[in-house]
């Protein structure tokens, strides 16, 4: 392959996994505050298949070349003229700023979105982290900081429920909720219960056996990772002043984002993850201290991105799925 081209997975249209194919495309250039990263592994997230299916049309339809993927881990091979914090040869991980670009041999990463990789993680493990763990840290930190001082529980006795605890975001959320000093209830199917306990959950609810929303006044924060419930359905399961946070950015959920339910001070929120090198640096310290770990469901070669998408699209991975970018 010439130095000006690279292998990448390209979405040839909107539709099922079969629209994905591996092609030789132009290698990107960097300038300003951008890094060019030789990608060694790329994370696969549900947003990737949603965009592939056309959830962001017409914006994505305007893009000439659609290379899916928002998470990368690899080595810096070139830096823009205004980059100050990174050099060629650094091992980094990052969440890309747009919705495209990760499933390729090279990707452009904003300096502020990147962080040195945790030294004890492989490229595959590191690529599993950015979008999912950033979602978990930003959602939980935001909700715990927003709890009113006069809410029912003292800070050390706060209870957090994670709905969807054994998937990509959930496995990080359970660990982070414990690190933030809360008592954790994990909601998942029976086959994920052992994993949730290993990650630190003190209580596990099998959603096929029990509806957590019926547990009145129990939780300070409900993090609806699966995004299949609503503030209205979960409101009574919150303690006074409690907060429901969902990953599902639909209009009805945004309504509760700006309103507070009259009378009881319970709130609904929507998390929208943003790239943050600073938060990735915090996560790096937690991995290196042995306080967090990555749960990898499976690793596919880049050429098998379609199979990886079909797997994620089932909605039941155990932890994360990543693509290994050899060559
Ligand atoms: N707004 C944002 O910025 C943002 C950021 C990241 C992710 N998201 C969204 O968040 C969702 C989760 O992402 P993810 O990466 O964690 O997905 P994932 O890896 O596919 O995990 C989905 C999880 O949902 C669980 N689940 C499925 N049906 C369930 C049910 N009825 N009740 C409770 N849990 C159920 C699954 O557990 P079992 O296998 O045990 O059923 C699995 O653990 C996706 O929709 C994604 O698009 C949004």
Q: What is the CATH number of the domain that holds 141?
A: 3.40.50.720
Ligand 1 site, CB within 6 A: 45-47, 131-132, 135, 163-164, 166-170, 187-189, 192, 207, 225-228, 247, 249, 271-273, 312, 315-317
Tell which phi-psi region holds residue 290, choosing left (phi > 0), alpha (psi between -120 and 50) or beta: left
Domain that holds residue 174: 132-270
Contact 183, 159 (CB under 8 A): yes
Nearest to 69 by CA among 326, 327, 322, 261: 322
The reply to whether 100 and 136 lie within a common domain is no
192, 226, 227, 234, best to mutate for ligand 1 pocket (most atoms within 8 Å of CB): 226
The answer to whether the bond into 178 is cis (omega within 30° of 0) is no
117 DSSP assignment: P
Element (H, E) at 177: helix 168-179
- 238 lies in a domain? yes
DSSP 122-165: -HHHHHTSHHHHHHHHHHHHHHHHHS-TTSSS-GGG-EEEEEST
Helix (H, G, I), strand (E, B) or coil at 311: helix
If asked whether residues 175 and 252 sit together in one domain, one would say yes
Structural element, H or E, at residue 312: helix 305-313
Positive or negative: CA dihedral 114, 40, 170, 180 = negative
CB-CB contact of 52 with 44 (8 Å): no
Question: Are 121 and 12 part of one and the same domain?
Answer: yes
Mark whether 124 and 137 lie in a shared domain.
no
pTM of the predicted model as reported, rounded to 2 decimal places: 0.96
Contact (CB, 8 A) for 112 and 33: yes
In a domain, 282, yes or no: no
| pLDDT digits (tens), the chain, 327 positions | 456 999 999 999 999 999 999 999 999 999 999 999 999 999 999 999 999 999 988 778 778 789 999 999 999 999 999 999 999 999 999 999 988 999 999 999 999 999 999 999 999 999 999 999 999 999 999 999 999 876 656 666 899 999 999 999 999 999 999 999 999 999 999 999 999 999 999 999 999 999 999 999 999 999 999 999 999 999 999 999 999 999 999 888 887 767 666 677 899 999 999 999 999 999 999 999 999 999 999 999 999 999 999 999 999 999 999 999 987
List, in sequence order, every residue forming a beta bridge with 104; answer none if it has no partner: 8
Closest CA relative to residue 50, chosen from 17, 73, 94 = 17
């Amino acid at each position: 392959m010439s130095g000006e081209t690279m292998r990448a997975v390209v979405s040839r249209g909107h539709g099922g996994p079969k629209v994905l194919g591996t092609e030789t495309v132009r290698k990107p250039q960097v300038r300003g505050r951008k890094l060019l990263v030789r990608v060694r592994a790329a994370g696969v997230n549900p947003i990737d298949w949603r965009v592939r299916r056309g959830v962001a049309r017409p914006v994505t339809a305007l893009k000439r070349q659609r290379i899916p993927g928002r998470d990368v881990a690899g080595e810096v091979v070139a830096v823009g003229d205004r980059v100050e914090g990174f050099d060629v040869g650094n091992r980094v991980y990052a969440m890309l700023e747009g919705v495209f670009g990760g499933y390729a041999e090279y990707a452009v990463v904003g300096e502020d979105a990147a962080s040195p990789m945790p030294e004890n993680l492989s490229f595959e493990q590191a690529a599993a982290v950015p979008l999912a763990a950033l979602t978990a840290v930003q959602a939980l930190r935001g909700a715990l900081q927003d709890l009113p001082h006069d809410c029912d529980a003292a800070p050390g006795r706060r209870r957090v429920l994670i709905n969807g605890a054994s998937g990509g975001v959930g496995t990080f959320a359970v660990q982070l909720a414990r690190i933030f000093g809360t008592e954790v209830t994990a909601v998942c199917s029976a086959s994920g219960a052992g994993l949730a306990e290993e990650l630190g959950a003190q209580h596990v609810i099998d959603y096929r056996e029990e509806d957590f929303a019926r547990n009145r006044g129990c939780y300070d924060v409900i993090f609806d990772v699966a995004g299949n419930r609503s503030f209205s359905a979960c409101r009574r399961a919150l303690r006074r002043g409690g907060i429901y946070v969902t990953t599902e950015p639909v209009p009805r959920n945004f309504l509760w984002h700006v309103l507070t339910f009259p009378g009881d001070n319970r709130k609904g929120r929507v998390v929208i993850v943003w790239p943050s090198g600073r938060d990735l640096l915090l996560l790096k310290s937690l991995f290196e201290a042995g306080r967090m770990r990555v749960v990898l469901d499976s690793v596919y070669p880049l050429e098998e991105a379609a199979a990886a998408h079909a797997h994620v699209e089932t909605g039941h991975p155990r932890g994360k799925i990543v693509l290994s970018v050899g060559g």
